[in-house]
A and B are shown apart, each in its own frame.
Chain A
Amino acid sequence: MAPDVSMLGAAWDALVILSDPMRLAVLALAALLGVILGILPGIGGLAGTALLLPFTFTMDPYTAFAFLLGLGATTSTGDPIPAVLFGVPGGAGSAATVLDGLPMARRGEAGRALSASYMSSLMGGLFGAVLMGAAVPVLRPIMLNVGTPEMAALAILGLSMVAALSGNAPLRGLAAACIGIIIAMIGTDPRTGTFRWTFDTLYLWDGMPLVPITLGLFALPELCDLAIGRNSISEGARYSIKSGMWLGAQDCFRHWWLILRCSWIGAALGAVPGIGGAVVDWMAYGHAARTEKDADKTFGKGDVRGVIASESANNAKEGGSLLTTVAFGIPGSAGMAIILGAFIAQGLIPGPDMLGKNLAITYSMVWSIAIANIIGAGLCYLFSGQFAKLATLRYTLILPVVLSIIYIGAFGGSRQWGDLFALLAFGILGWVMKRMRWPRPPLILGVVLGASIERYMFISIKLDGAGWLFHPVVLVFFAIAGYGLLGPFIKKSREKRRAIAAGEIAAKSAKPANGNRFSFHLADLFPAALFVAIATLLYQTLGWSGQSALVPRIVCIVALFAIGASLLQGAWGRTEGLSFAKQAEAEAMEGLHMDTQSDTDHVDQRDILLRAGMFFGWLIAFMASMAIIGLIPTIPLFVIAFMRVEAREPWKIVLPQAILLTIFVYVVFDKLLNLPWPQTLMHHLFPAFASLIPSM
């Protein structure tokens, strides 16, 4: 077994090289930066790695990759912190953590949830690294036998998770997934050059960037509800910090088998270009919701297993996505595309050499990810006590800071004004969906997987006609997808039949209260508006070439059908005399609802709408100010205005907060990251004066 000996030898050499104190120090620094950037919503591995990349040009390859991967690997350890504490995912990969993490924080179990996410991050990260280390020798042969048709099938399998993530609202889930795919279709179609739904704007040429979509869809609605509730997230802590931490770690050891499975999902999907990265958390969450005992009763209501599933997959994906990068030069995720820059700078070529004569470098990457995960989790545990307290702060202290960072994070998507409009639009969409109990996860799945499925599918058809459907691996993936889609129905109907046989429930369900009379309700406005919007988009596909229009048209028609059916179902079978929020709740009472629930029962409906209007008004004011005087001057203005107007916070809190945040943003985003700020009105009017002020 000569190859194994050389493999272990290379792994050992790599560890020795990496244990040089200087390199370890660099790795630790990167891990620290990673955790910090991970905590900031929307600003994660991508921005951080891009920031560090130029510094690595002069380093040796071991140090360079340790620096970059150390940062990339630990951002996903920091990500769950804002997800648990404010319901704002730190990165796209921990959106699913919010579903159970936030309810836990509301119960006063923030410490436990945080600890569970650190420990599962650590275990997931290590498992991902081990899997990668073990897969190195067999990786190329496997990948050379997996063709585009198999990729297409895998993407479709991923999309079938929509069923699990729609909970008790399958029609709405289907509609949301279709809307996601429609969003994914925006941009230049690579096969025909058709510009699909670009509305004559350069911004949409490259398609919608994911960051503003995720932040809008998942972060803004939670913040809006925080502003509506006018409370802190949690009133107090249920456990002492120490015992909370201990409980969370224990949870992870108890559910080690779940962690193992979810890490597997994370690492494997992370390796698939265009699929993994942004949705592994949802895949793992959907898997856990399907397979864990009694998950349909407790998931989404603060079940620690939901946090564990999402976070272990989120950290394991890094190892997986490194694989294809190293072996083929095909980045598994956006962050890995930046790592490729380091390959160029080091004069290294991804491919067989990395698994042959440069094997030690490859193994040093695996070690870097493993060690960074340990350091990252250690750092998080060290400071966690302080973090957990954040959930008890007043909303007026939290909101201005988090909102400012979210704006900058969204702007990082493609560094254009369009990002901010997208953030606002998806924020409103997300909030309405949340209130109306339309599941949001299927939408993001559609966005991420839609384009890959279309791309892989057309290549497969071009290569092999319909024959690709009958490749053995494709058939296996389809079988798994079919089981995932149909399994629950079969199980449910079998249970029901058994219950009827036992005489537990009547065979016919009771009639709805209004006796099947048709009634239109305020809550129907949202699906009606969606229906009109999608019909308009469908109309716009006229004039596109056949190949370009095929998938968009199918998806639009399915969406119209799903929305229409859901609308009719609602209009025919609802109970009269409830507010729209209660109405939605009544409709979704049965079974598992796959989304967070609003914590605003103490506010009446008029105030909800009023305060939501105010919240989005603040956002619009922020953007207007940014257009006039630039982003950096807007930040102190916004912080002061928000804190004084919303709650008359004392100046001695307001001023330091405004000043510190402004300095932080200036140093990190203007000085270090060199964000190209958009041009302002002030600059247009007084160029000489404006050039003195950063971002103006």
Chain B
Amino acid sequence: MKLLKMVRIAGAVFGAGLVLTGAAQAQTVEEFYKGKNLTFIISAAAGGSTDFFGRAFAKYYAKHIPGQPNVIVVNQPGAGGLLVGTQLQTTQPRDGTVVALLQRNNLYLPLVSDENKEFDPRKVNWLGSLNKEEYAITSWETSPVKKTEDLFTTQMTMGATGYANETRTIPALMNEYLGTKFDIVMGYQGSEEVGLAMERGEVNGKAGTVSNLATGAEAGWVKDGKLKVLMQIAMQPNPSLPEVPNIMTYIKDPDVKSLFTFMVSPFEAGRPMAAPPEVPADRLEALRKAFDDAAADPEFIADLKKVNSTVEPVSGVAVQEIVENLYKTPQPVLDKVKALIKKQ
């Protein structure tokens, strides 16, 4: 132990020397980032939409940080973003040289899951979110359910991916508290596979994101009348779907309302970005401001427009607020959510 202590002291002295040569006192944010590397971790594998939007954003992000650090994009998939979340919280450097694009479920799953106790979304610093998300219940043309009211009287099969995924939890929640009659088939891999299952008549419909309805293969189906949008699941209804009723208008019981709010409010932070805890205040402020500026950068918006996508930025403070509200949810509500996603 003594040796270790000596080594530590030697290291501290050596490290202090290095810091001093860099003239660390009263260093401005710009001086700090100038010539430094900013590691931009994407919590998903290369090739998916998270990767694309992360990479598309990263270069504008670095441009808007004072001192324009050199941005290095790193892919680190694992446990649906929880791996990177945990790394941010525990091991990543806290000097502001690391930021990460996390995933929506990271905001609320740790609160209701028994399996992951390490990541606490309140402990990291949220920088903002690149878009808002809404879900919608859709039904294929051959489905027995034709209009919104049928949902409460007629059974339809829904294709879903994973157990704790919104493609299952939303219909399951609706069955439990609103009296819908969904029969949910789980185990498809991704929304494209569910789409194929609808096309070949294996399932009648699905719960999916509205952004997919607007830009994915589903956009064509909606236009051709093959796919009907029956209900949207959002805090605020999406303006592109004025005809489609929002689930929130069907909920009267305040307990049920807070249950749905718990599940739906994280959609507001669709692509959240975070930094580790204890980042110096001035740098954190700069990182948050850079997020807002980069998300509003006309060139970035033009880049996304080229691929038929839009940016709906949410500020870091707003994301932090969503997290805090989630953690204020009363225990009985949390228990109900837990029962819903707890293993069978």
Contacts and interface: CB of A to CB of B under 8 A. Distances in A.
Interface of A: 49-50, 53-54, 57, 143-148, 188-195, 198, 202-203, 205-206, 273-274, 328-330, 337-341, 344-347, 349-353, 414-416, 455-456, 458-459, 462-463, 544-545, 547-548, 674-676, 679, 685-689
A344 B7 CA distance: 51
Contact of B15 (A190, A679, A687): A687
Given A205-B78, A338-B47, A193 B188 contact: no
Residue of B51, B196, B203 with most chain A CB atoms under a 10 A cut-off: B196
Contact of A679 (B74, B86, B91): B91
Given A337-B48, A344-B307, A547-B344, A674 B186 contact: no
Residue of A206, A353, A676 with most chain B CB atoms under a 10 A cut-off: A676
Interface of B: 7-8, 11, 14-16, 18-19, 41, 45-49, 51-52, 55-56, 72-80, 82-83, 86, 91, 93, 115-116, 118, 157, 161-164, 185-190, 192-193, 195-197, 199-200, 202-203, 215-217, 219-220, 306-308, 341-344
B333 to A, nearest CB: 19
A455 B187 contact: yes
A679 to B, nearest CB: 5
A556 B55 CA distance: 44
Contacts of B19: 688
Contacts of B56: 57
A337 B192 CA distance: 12
Nearest to A462: B185
B94 to A, nearest CB: 10
27 contacts: A54-B73, A146-B200, A147-B200, A190-B161, A190-B162, A192-B163, A194-B344, A195-B115, A198-B115, A202-B79, A205-B80, A205-B82, A206-B77, A206-B78, A273-B189, A329-B192, A329-B195, A330-B196, A341-B47, A344-B307, A346-B307, A347-B306, A459-B188, A463-B185, A545-B344, A674-B74, A689-B15
A347 B192 contact: no
Residue of A54, A193, A198 with most chain B CB atoms under a 10 A cut-off: A193
Nearest to A52: B46
Contacts of A338: 45-47
A345 B83 CA distance: 26
Contacts of A144: 196, 199-200
A674 B79 contact: no
B344 A188 contact: no
A349 B49 CA distance: 12
A416 B344 contact: no
A630 B3 CA distance: 21
B33 to A, nearest CB: 15
A413 to B, nearest CB: 11
A619 to B, nearest CB: 24
B285 to A, nearest CB: 24
Given A148-B197, A674-B73, A687-B93, A191 B78 contact: no
B32 to A, nearest CB: 14
Nearest to B197: A148
A680 to B, nearest CB: 11
A49 B215 CA distance: 25
B69 to A, nearest CB: 14
**Which 8 A-B pairs rank lowest in CB-CB distance, beginning with the nearest?**
A688-B15, A338-B47, A193-B163, A50-B46, A341-B47, A686-B11, A329-B192, A347-B307
Contact of B202 (A344, A463, A686, A689): A463
Given A53-B46, A688-B14, A688-B16, 9 more contacts: A191-B186, A206-B79, A328-B196, A340-B48, A349-B216, A351-B217, A414-B77, A415-B78, A689-B11
Contacts of B307: 344-347
A696 to B, nearest CB: 13
Contacts of A202: 78-79, 82-83, 86, 116, 118
Contacts of A147: 197, 200, 202
Contacts of B80: 205
B47 A195 contact: no
Contacts of A548: 343-344
Contact of A416 (B45, B83, B189): B83
A328 to B, nearest CB: 5
B52 A345 contact: yes
B96 to A, nearest CB: 14
Contacts of A206: 77-79
Nearest to B51: A341
Contacts of B48: 337, 340-341
Nearest to A341: B47
Contacts of B308: 347
A350 B163 contact: no
Contacts of B116: 202
B52 A459 contact: no
A294 B328 CA distance: 73
Nearest to B191: A329
Contacts of A345: 52, 307
Given A50-B46, A193-B163, A353-B220, A274 B189 contact: yes
A522 to B, nearest CB: 40
Contacts of B72: 674
A193 B343 contact: yes
Contacts of A340: 47-48
Given A57-B55, A346-B307, A192 B202 contact: no
A344 B52 contact: yes
